[in-house]
Amino acid sequence: MSEVKLFRTWSSPYALRIVWALELKGIDYETIFEDLSNKSQLLLQYNPVHKKVPVLVHNGKVISESLVIIEYIEDTWKDTPLLPEDPYERATARFWAKFNDDKLLPSIWQVFVTQGKEQEEAIPVATENLSFIEEDLKGKKFFGGQTIGLVDITIGWMANLISVFIEITGINLIDADKFPLLFGWMQNFSDVPVIKESWPPHDKLVIKFRAIRESYLSADVPK
Amino acid sequence: MANKEVRVLGAWPSPFVMRARIALNIKKLDYEFLQEQLGSKSELLLKSNPVHKKIPVLIHGDKPICESLVIVQYVDEVWSSGPSILPSDPYDRAIARFWAAYIDDKWFPSLSGIPRAQGEEAKMAAIQQVRDGLELLEDAFVKCSKGKPFFGGDSIGYLDIAFGCFLGWLRVTEKSNGVKLLDETKTPNLAKWAVRFCSDVAVKDVMPDTDKLAEFAKVLFAKFRAPPPSN
């Protein structure tokens, strides 16, 4: 009987990826919620380098960094693969997952935490990144094809948080006319039962992210 | 004659390009090395990597693969009969991937931070950051190598490639700032590993000569006033 523990917060999109990966593969696990303003001794011991969530502990083996964790889960539990078999398709999936973390997510975040001229300049950067990812959806229901995979769960934060960002800033980056495929994907992705069941509560997210945006706008917070 | 089936778009000074070449060398694969010119991007590069427009790009047949560590994994998976680059155990793989991500996300940016630092205090802080990172990597080496010569064990693997590719630039930074970063007293295992890595048959022909790299760095910094682009 294997023992799997996931250290996470209720709202972290990086941790949510791991929830999705575990749930999709039907893996039993225990959740330990962290308060990042008051990190537990165990978290600091398990992730001394980054001191962040998510952290996965499998039979005492500690793994951190969300994309590393997902690859570990994929290597260890072979049911419901999250990566295709073909090496070129795998490379493409890994490329887009990295693109999300390195470029797409930060560029959308930049729109969210700024205003005025700074925000105006951030929007075309985010839009260009969205257009790249829109291309990859051509002819597919999900980034993973007929079923969700690594790229879907990596970018999946968008399907949840975009509506929160719209509510707070009034800016809709994923317009149905401009990005019809992404718009459709967000709906399809949200409808997958495992995903639907684990969305953090919308109202709670609005409160939290509104406070984050305000703290960025009112102070010189390093981005 | 170079094999046109496998092409690498790159440049000799780039540590990221070196990763792809080392991986191909480990698998004893022939490939055509197409060098980009500093300050301009070829049509082939723009077509093969429209998202980032950066090197390295591996072109296998007509399929482009981008992002250096994605390329290394691709090479490992396609030419699976050759020596393995990633470990076989899932946890060892996770550890290798974790440290490779740390090197790209934290350590290499701290190394690039040294020439960018304004003023003596900022420079000392940047140097300390690099040294702190090297101490973490020293511990990682002890854990990963399990008494063997490389992070990957008996032969060079994923993490050796991910980290070792920066040794040339590390030495250039040491020389131009008059500091020791990879210190035999503080990080003895890494210091010895570095020598072994650079003399490995898969590495020695693609690791640039330090003086040649230092000359290139002068040209680069003069032209762009910034360290090389990261990928």
- Give the DSSP per-residue string, chain B: ---TTEEEEE-TT-HHHHHHHHHHHHTT---EEEEPPTT---HHHHHH-TTT--S-EEEETTEEEESHHHHHHHHHHHTTTS--SS-SSHHHHHHHHHHHHHIIIIIHHHHHHHHH--SHHHHHHHHHHHHHHHHHHHHHHHHHHTTSSBTTBSS--HHHHHHHTTHHHHHHHHHHHT--SS-TTTSHHHHHHHHHHHHSTTTTTTSPPHHHHHHHHHHHHHHHSSPPPP-
Asked whether the beta carbons of A39 and A23 are under 8 A apart, the reply is: no
The pTM assigned to this predicted structure is 0.95
Binary contact (A87, B63; C-beta < 8 A): no
Share of chain A above pLDDT 70, in %: 98
In A, which residues are within 8 Å of B65 by CB distance?
88, 91, 95
Q: What is the pLDDT of residues B68-97, one digit of tens each?
A: 999 999 999 999 998 999 999 999 999 999
Q: Is B90 in CB contact (< 8 Å) with chain A?
A: yes
Residue A96 CB partners (closer than 8 Å, separation 6+): A133, A136, A143, A151, A154, A155
Across residues A78-87, what is the average pLDDT?
97
**Choosing among B66, B70, B72, B144, which should be mutated to test the A contact, i.e. which has the most A CBs within 10 A?**
B70
Q: What is the pLDDT of residues A23-54, one digit of tens each?
A: 999 999 999 999 998 999 999 999 999 999 99
Residue B6 pairs with which residues in a beta bridge? Answer: B60
Residue B178 CB partners (closer than 8 Å, separation 6+): none
Q: Cis peptide before B188, with omega less than 30 degrees from 0?
A: no
In B, which residues are within 8 Å of A84 by CB distance?
none
Q: What is the pLDDT of residue A57?
A: 97
Binary contact (B70, A99; C-beta < 8 A): no
pLDDT of A78 over the 60 cut: yes
Hey, how many other C-beta atoms are within 10 angstroms of the C-beta on A144? 19
pLDDT of B3 over the 60 cut: no
Q: What is the pLDDT of residue B207?
A: 97
Q: Give chain A's contact residues with B (Cβ, < 8 Å).
A: 49, 58, 61, 63-65, 67-69, 71-72, 75-76, 87-88, 90-91, 94-95, 98-99, 132
Shortest Cα distance, chain A CAs vs residue B104, angstroms? 11
Q: Report the chain B residue with the minimal C-alpha distance to residue A90.
A: B74
Q: Is B73 in CB contact (< 8 Å) with chain A?
A: yes
Shortest Cα distance, chain B CAs vs residue A91, angstroms? 6
pLDDT band with cut points at 50, 70 and 90 for residue B1: very low
CA B97 to chain CA centroid, Å, is: 14
Residue B10 pairs with which residues in a beta bridge? Answer: B35
Across residues B113-132, what is the average pLDDT?
93
Q: Give me A50's structure tokens.
A: 């980054």
Using CB atoms, which residue from A49, A72, A95 is nearest to B90?
A: A72
Q: What is the pLDDT of residues B157-187, one digit of tens each?
A: 999 999 999 999 999 999 998 999 999 999 9
Using CB atoms, which residue from A72, A76, A91 is nearest to B70?
A: A91
pLDDT band with cut points at 50, 70 and 90 for residue B116: confident
